Chain A
Amino acid sequence: MSQGILVIIEHTDAKVNRISLEALTGAQKLGAEMGQSVFAAVLADDCSAMTGELSSKKLDKIYALSNPLLADYTPDGYTIALQQLIEKTDPAVVIVGYSYQARDYAAKLALRCGGAMMSDCIAIQADSGNITLTRQVFAGKFNADYSFSGDGCCFISLQAAAYNADELEAGTAAVEGFAVNLDSREIRTTVLESFEGTKKDVDLAASDIIVAIGRGLKEEENLEIAEALASAMGADIGASRPVCDDGWVGADRQVGSSGQTVSPKLYLSLGISGAIQHVVGMKSSKYIVAINKDPHAPIFDIADVAVVGDLFEIVPKLTEAVKAAK
C-alpha cells in the first residue's frame, strides 16, 4: 500500500519558494484528513540551505537530493531523480506548486511513475480516503470537481495561493540524504544563459488609478475610448496579456503573473475576463470596478463593483460624467 504525501520543493537563490510552502500547507491539511504523514524532497547541487529552512516545519522527513547535475533545473534531471525517490518511498500522493517549473516536468514525472496528474488545483478534499480536487475551468468562469480513482500515485499541482503558507505548522523534520543515480548523458536539455526581459518604462506599481483594458476592447482603434476615460480620470493604462501580445500597448503595461503586480486606489477594468494569471497581479487593489458583458466573468468575483454591460456603450458616457464631476 502506498503511504504518505510527498511535496517537491522549489527554490530560488537558496530559499524555498512561497508556492512550495503553500503546497506543504495543503499537504499537512490533507495529511491530517487522511491520517498520512507528509515528507518533502529538495533537489539541488547543495540542498543544505533549503533543508535547513524546512527542518523547523512539521514534516516526517526531508529528502535531500544533492547532485551537481541538479544544480540547474532540467526536466530530465528532475524526472529521473524524483522517479528514483518515488519508487523508493512509494507515496500515495505527490503535491507540487503549479509554478512554471512544475508546468514543465510534473506531468512527465507522473506518467514516468505510472501515475497521473491533476494540474492547477485550488482545493483538495479527502473524505474517508477518497480524494476530490477542485480546479477552475473555462478560464475561471466555472469550477470543476474531480475525483481520483486511479491505481497509481495521485499527482496534484496547486495554484498559487490555494493554501496560505502562514498556516504551515511548525515542528521538527529529520533531513536524510538520497543518493541519485544520474548520468549527464541522460539529460537531453542543455541549459544556456538566463536574462531579464526588457526594462520597464512605466511603473504601474506607483499608479493611483489604473484603467485596464482587455481583449473585450476588440480592436486597437478602440484604445482611444479607454484613453479618453484614463485621461479624464488621471489614470494610467494597464492591460491584460493578449492586449500586450498584440502590441496595442507596450509589454510594460501588462498586469498579472507574467507582468506587473499593482495595488492602486482604483483598478477599473474594461473587457477583461479575470483569468487567474491576470487577477494575481491586481487583486490587492484597494477598489476594483469591472465592466464586462458576461455575468459569469470571473473578474466579478473579486470586484467591489461589477458592471454587467457593453463597455462601448458605458465607457464614453462614463468619461463624460467623470469630466462633469471633476
Chain B
Amino acid sequence: MKIAILLKQVPVKDAMLELNDSGNWIEEDDVQFEINDSDHYGLAEALNIAKENEGEVTVVTMGPDRVKDSIKQALAKGAHRAIHIDDEEVSSSDPLTCAKIIAAAIKDENFDLILSGLQSDDLGFGQTGVLVAEILGMPHATLVVETEILDGKIKVKRELEGGWFQNVELPLPAMLSIQSGLTDIPYATIKGIMMAKKKPVAEVEADDLGVELDGGAFKLEKIYTPVKSKETTVFEGDADTIVAQLIDKLKNEAKVL
C-alpha cells in the first residue's frame, strides 16, 4: 500500500512572531520552524497504517530549503522516502495554487492513500488536502481521528461538532485529513535518525510542474495586529510586583479571594 503524508513546516509554536517592515508577512529571519501540529498526527496515522498493511510512507513537503529538516525528522520517525517540492514562495501562496503544485508533483505516484493534517498553524486555510483530492479525483474525509483498512476501502471515524463522532467508509484510493488526538506521536530513535540519512529524497522544482503561479484568486494585502475589543489591564516586569497586583484584582474585581 502506497501512502503519502502531506507535511507542512510552520514557525515553532513558541516563536515570538513579529511583523515585517512592509506589513505583508512576518519577520522570518530569527524564526525557527517545525512540523505542523496536526501533520504529526497525520504522519503517525500513516505509519500505523503502513505497519499493518505492508505499506510504504512517502513524505511530501513543499517549501524552501529549510523544510529539509522537517523531512529528515519525518524520515527518522519511520517514513520510507520523501518528495521535496522546492518553492521559495510557498508561504504566501494560496491553498489552490499549493494544491495544484502538490497534485502535479504526486499524480504519477498513484498513492492508495493521501493523508494530511487538518489545518496548518500558520495560515490555517484547512483546504490543501481536500483540494488535492478533488484535483486527483479521489474521495476524501476530513477531521479523521481513526482509520481501519478494509478490503479495497477504508473505514474512518470522523469528529463531528458537539462531542459527536461519525463512521464513514470510502473506496480506495482516498484522501484523509487528520485531526489531532487519538494516536500517539512517534519519537525519532537514534537508529531512526541514522537510517534517515540513507532514505531517498526526490527533489522537484515547483516551477517545473506546469502550474500557473499567478498567486491565485486572493491576494494578501496586509497583515497586522488585531485591534482589541476589550479593555485589558496589562501587568509585566517583576514577578513579585505582578503577583501583588494580581492578588488585588482577584480580591477586588474577580472577587474570588
- Whether the pair B226, A143 counts as a contact (CB closer than 8 A) is yes
- Whether the pair A150, B217 counts as a contact (CB closer than 8 A) is yes
Q: Smallest Cβ distance from B52 to chain A, in angstroms?
A: 21
Instruction: Please report whether the interface of chain A is mostly helix, strand, loop or mixed according to DSSP.
Output: mixed
The residue that B164 contacts in the complex, of A107, A141, A194, A242, with Cβ under 8 A, is: A194
Q: Does A86 contact B (CB under 8 A)?
A: no
- Whether the pair A318, B246 counts as a contact (CB closer than 8 A) is yes
Provide the residues of chain A in CB contact with B127, threshold 8 Å: 107, 117, 119
Residue of A with least CB distance to B125: A119
| Given known A116-B96, A119-B125, A189-B168, contact A304–B253 (CB-CB < 8 A) | yes
A147 CA to B251 CA, complexed, in Å: 47
State which of B59-67, B81-89, B136-144, B204-212 sits at the interface with chain A.
B136-144
- Whether the pair B222, A192 counts as a contact (CB closer than 8 A) is no
Provide the residues of chain A in CB contact with B233, threshold 8 Å: 304-306
A112 CA to B234 CA, complexed, in Å: 48
- Whether the pair B17, A141 counts as a contact (CB closer than 8 A) is yes
- Whether the pair B16, A294 counts as a contact (CB closer than 8 A) is yes
Provide the residues of chain A in CB contact with B244, threshold 8 Å: 321
- Whether the pair A191, B236 counts as a contact (CB closer than 8 A) is no
State which of B104-112, B154-162, B194-202 sits at the interface with chain A.
B154-162
Task: Tell me the residues in window 74-123 of chain A with beta carbons closer than 8 Å to chain B beta carbons.
Answer: 74-76, 99-100, 103-105, 107-108, 111-112, 115-120
A265 CA to B16 CA, complexed, in Å: 31
Residue of B with least CB distance to A297: B16
Q: Does B235 contact A (CB under 8 A)?
A: yes
Number of interface residues of A (CB under 8 A): 87
Provide the residues of chain A in CB contact with B242, threshold 8 Å: 307, 309, 314
The residue that B218 contacts in the complex, of A116, A245, A266, with Cβ under 8 A, is: A116
Q: Does A278 contact B (CB under 8 A)?
A: no
Q: Which of A105, A133, A265, A318 has the most CB of B within 10 A?
A: A318
- Whether the pair A103, B17 counts as a contact (CB closer than 8 A) is no
Q: Smallest Cβ distance from A62 to chain B, in angstroms?
A: 24
Residue of B with least CB distance to A146: B218
Task: Tell me the residues in window 124-146 of chain B with beta carbons closer than 8 Å to chain A beta carbons.
Answer: 124-127, 130-131, 133-135, 139-143
Number of interface residues of B (CB under 8 A): 80
Number of A-B pairs, beta carbon distance below 8 Å: 247
Q: Smallest Cβ distance from B210 to chain A, in angstroms?
A: 18
| Given known A111-B134, A191-B168, contact A306–B124 (CB-CB < 8 A) | no
A265 CA to B234 CA, complexed, in Å: 20
The residue that A309 contacts in the complex, of B168, B236, B255, B256, with Cβ under 8 A, is: B236
Q: Does B11 contact A (CB under 8 A)?
A: yes
- Whether the pair A133, B142 counts as a contact (CB closer than 8 A) is no
Q: Does B190 contact A (CB under 8 A)?
A: no
Instruction: Please report whether the interface of chain B is mostly helix, strand, loop or mixed according to DSSP.
Output: mixed
Question: Mask for B229-257, Cβ within 8 A of A = 1, else 0?
Answer: 11111111101101110110111011111
A304 CA to B233 CA, complexed, in Å: 6
A189 CA to B144 CA, complexed, in Å: 14
Provide the residues of chain A in CB contact with B121, threshold 8 Å: 138-139
Provide the residues of chain B in CB contact with A149, threshold 8 Å: 217-219
- Whether the pair A242, B130 counts as a contact (CB closer than 8 A) is no
Question: Mask for B160-172, Cβ within 8 A of A = 1, else 0?
Answer: 1101111111110
| Given known A116-B217, A146-B218, contact A321–B11 (CB-CB < 8 A) | no
Q: Smallest Cβ distance from A121 to chain B, in angstroms?
A: 10
| Given known A120-B124, A196-B163, contact A317–B142 (CB-CB < 8 A) | no
Provide the residues of chain B in CB contact with A152, threshold 8 Å: 217
Provide the residues of chain A in CB contact with B142, threshold 8 Å: 100, 103-104
Provide the residues of chain B in CB contact with A76, threshold 8 Å: 139
Q: Does B122 contact A (CB under 8 A)?
A: yes
Which residues of A are at the interface with B, using a C-beta cutoff of 8 A? 74-76, 99-100, 103-105, 107-108, 111-112, 115-120, 132-133, 136-152, 154, 188-197, 208-209, 215-216, 233, 241-242, 245, 257-258, 265-266, 273, 286-287, 289, 294-296, 298, 300-310, 313-314, 317-318, 321-322, 325-326
Task: List 16 A-B residue pairs with CB atoms under 8 Å apart, sorted by A's residue number.
Answer: A103-B143, A132-B221, A139-B121, A145-B222, A189-B170, A190-B170, A192-B169, A216-B14, A265-B254, A287-B256, A296-B17, A304-B233, A305-B233, A306-B235, A309-B235, A317-B239
A-B pairs, 6 with minimum CB distance = A150-B217, A188-B139, A116-B217, A287-B254, A192-B167, A107-B127
